[in-house]
Structures are given as C-alpha cells and as structure tokens.
Amino acid sequence: MLQVENISFGYTEKTILHNISFNIQKGQNIALLGESGCGKSTLLKLIYGLHDLDEGKISWQEKLVTGPKYNLVPGMPYMRFMAQDFGLMPYETAGESVGKYLSNSFNAIKRLRIEELLDLVEMAEYSRTKVNLLSGGQQQRVALARVLALEPEVLLLDEPFSHIDNFRKNALRRNLFAYLKSRGITVIVATHDSTDALSFSDETMIMKDGQLLVKAPSMEIYKNPGSKYIASLFGEVNELVMNKDGKSETVLVYPHQLKVVEEGPLKVTVKQCYFKGNHYLIKGAFNGRPLFFQHDRELELQLDVALEVKRL
C-alpha cells in the first residue's frame, strides 16, 4: 500500500501542497486530475522522492520514501517516474534508451526485453533510430517503454500521452494499462484527459489549489461531482437552478443529459452548433447565460427549443 500522510510542501516559503492524505492499494490504477498549476506534478515528484517534505510522510509497503537529504541519487529504486520532458538523451537510439539501465550480463535477455517494450508502445521498427530524429509523440512512447524496463512496483506518469496522436493514443492506453494490471504495478497518472480516468482508472483523485478535494471510484465522481469545478474536468457542464418540491436547488448537468422535447421546463435559444461526429454540441442561451446540450442534428440559429433533464 502507498500511504501519503498529511504532507505539505513548498519550493519556497510559500506552501503549495496543503495537508494531503490518501492511501492506494497495490496494483491500483489512479488518475490524478486538476487544472494546470494545482500541484499534480509536484505531488508525483514528492511520492518519487525528488524533494524533501516540509511536513508529513510517504511510505510504500511500510518503507519510508525519503528525499535528497537521505539519498545520493534522488528517487526510490522500486519506483519509476516519467516527467513531461521525457528525459531522453538525443543521440541514443530508441533501443539504447529503453535498455540503458538493464544489465549487460545477459545480452540475449536484454534484447528480448527491449523488443518486448518497444513492441508494447508500437515503436519496434524504430529500435535503431536516434531519439533526436523521432517526433515528440514517438519520443514519448520511447520514454514510456524506458520507465518499464526495470519493472517497478510503483509507476508515476506525468501527462504520458500528451504528445501522442489520437488515433494511436487509444490503442496505446489499452495496451499499456492492461500490461500494468497484469503485472500488479501500482500506477498514478497525472492527466488533463478524462478518458484516462473514466476508461482505465480504478479511482480518481481531484486536486485544486494544492489540496486534494476527493478520492473515489471514477464513475462515482463523474455521476456525483459535488462541484462545477470537478464536473468541468470531465468536459462541458451546466450549472442550473431547478425547482423541486417548491424549493430551488442548484444542479450540475452534462450536455448529454439535456434532451430536446416538445414541452419542457428549460426554454433555450440556439446560438452555435458544433459538429462532434455522432452528434452536435449546441450552445444556447438560457436566462441570459450560456447552456450546452447535445442533439443528433444541427439546429437553426436563433431557434427557440425546449429541453428536459435526463438523470445519469
């Protein structure tokens, strides 16, 4: 189990992470969501041991995680951390980068391991290509293979798919997370992409302004976000005041929960239509404020329509 207990940290006298506590079971896949600058990357670095804590403690399987004060080379040996800058050497080949920290005592085993990991990230054909000749997305895939070379107990990934094309990203995510699950590797993925949370994570942690707001199963957070900030991390969201049993209450509604009907409680004027492939995202005006809903076809601008709310 990874245990984070009441940790606080600041690069200067200003504290940027405040009293964060949580536990993660071995083998879990955790998505870490939050706006830019909320502290996601810093939290991963602290878990890895790249900085000394101001307060609190971090442990893995009851072994204390320690920072640079206690280690000549920062970072825990049973963990791997992939930063946003990849950390690759430009004049190494992709294969050399992946096998950099593997033992040369058994060259045949080393070659097989490199081939296995490059195949996992669909980079086998670039094994002998120098890193500086690869695209950003290709470099990111090589970096992913490298952090898996010495199979870790805990894997910390900071925006691991940010440079990868969408058509390749989906297959890569499926292959990578299936691989990690099959080996019982605990993984925390700091990301802006809600797909990483909803499709692959066991739980999601939400951060804001250096604080941990919630840690729960991803579907539970999506269906009951608790605040507009949390809901907005999964896409567009509407904040509506609805009357229920004679009382007004504020509810959060995703665009797909709003349906065009003949008669409904929400009267909206169409302002913009955005084609999304299998549907249109419609921006409307409701009581002088923007409101987003989905529809199966484009609607005429300035058209008045009625909407009803469908519950998740």
DSSP state of 218: H
Looking only at the bridges linking them, the beta strands covering 186-191 and 203-208 are: unpaired
Q: Take residue 205 and report the two structure tokens written for it.
A: 């942690």
CB 207 within 8 A of CB 33: yes
| pLDDT tens sequence for the chain (312 residues) | 999 999 999 999 899 999 999 999 999 999 999 999 999 999 999 999 999 999 999 999 999 999 998 888 888 999 999 988 888 888 899 999 998 888 877 788 889 999 999 999 999 999 999 999 999 999 999 999 999 988 999 999 999 988 888 888 888 999 999 999 999 999 999 998 888 889 899 999 999 999 999 999 999 999 999 899 999 999 899 998 877 666 778 889 999 999 999 888 899 999 999 999 999 999 999 988 999 999 999 999 999 999 998 876
pLDDT the model gives residue 231: 94
Q: List Cβ neighbours of 188 (8 Å cut-off, separation of 6 or more).
A: 24, 30, 31, 32, 44, 47, 154, 155, 156, 157
Instruction: Give kind and range of the element (H or E) at residue 98.
Output: helix 94-98
CB 48 within 8 A of CB 152: no
Would you call 242 helix, strand, or coil by DSSP? strand
Instruction: Give kind and range of the element (H or E) at residue 180.
Output: helix 166-182
Query: Does the domain made of 2-227 have the CATH classification 3.40.50.300?
Result: yes
Q: Take residue 273 and report the two structure tokens written for it.
A: 């239509």
Q: How many CA atoms lie within 13 A of 227 on its CB side?
A: 9
Domain ranges of the chain: 2-227, 236-309
Instruction: Give kind and range of the element (H or E) at residue 206.
Output: strand 203-208
CATH code for the domain defined by 236-309: 2.40.50.140
